[in-house]
Amino acid sequence: MFDWFEDHHGLLIALGIASLVAFVGTVVAVPAIAVRIPADYFTHSKRPPGRWQNLSPALRWTARIAKNVLGVLFVIAGLAMLALPGQGLLTLVLGVLLIDGPGKYRFEKWMVRRRWVHRPINWLRRKRGREPLQVDDKSHGSK
């Protein structure tokens, strides 16, 4: 086993640097994204209209693609941070929130209703002077 570590010294250094960069990046990006979610975002039966509705189609598609790419990167980083240093669960949840797909809003609402998800998000929001995310009382279960 030690031979493997010696043979892959460069890979281990690269993974260590990537882990450090991901950790620092999420410490900055995750709180910034968490506080930008409108407090009532999860109280609607259907997704509220996006901020980009009034943009030109080309700009709207460019922004949508960039948002989805960022979301996929957050999901990958979140999965990696489950084993590496960083805010893995929170990063994973925020990555999922950025990716578009059918049934996403329903999934977002289900996910944010979990105490282990919305408590850390609301803690970050409180630290930044933002009101907590509103979720319906019946769904505060820790399932």
Round to whole Å and give the CA distance between 106 and 20. 33
Contact between 25 and 91 under an 8 Å Cβ cutoff? The reply is no
Residue 85: domain span: 2-139
Q: What is the 3-state secondary structure (H, E, C) of 3-51?
A: HHHHHCHHHHHHHHHHHHHHHHHHHHHHHHHHHHCCCCHHHCCCCCCCC
Split into its structural domains, the chain has a count of: 1
32-47 pLDDT per residue, tens: 888 888 898 888 888 8
d(CA 118, CA 128): 15
pLDDT digits (tens, 9 = 90+) for 16-26: 787 777 777 77
DSSP three-state, residue 62: helix
Residue 134: DSSP 8-state:
P
Tell me the C-alpha distance between 107 and 99, whole Å. 11
Please say if the pLDDT value at position 108 is more than 60. Answer: yes
Residue 53: pLDDT over 70: yes
The single-letter DSSP state of residue 139 is: G
pLDDT tens, residue by residue, 79-107: 887 877 667 777 787 788 788 888 888 88
Q: Residues near 105 by Cβ (< 8 Å), separated by ≥ 6?
A: 46, 47
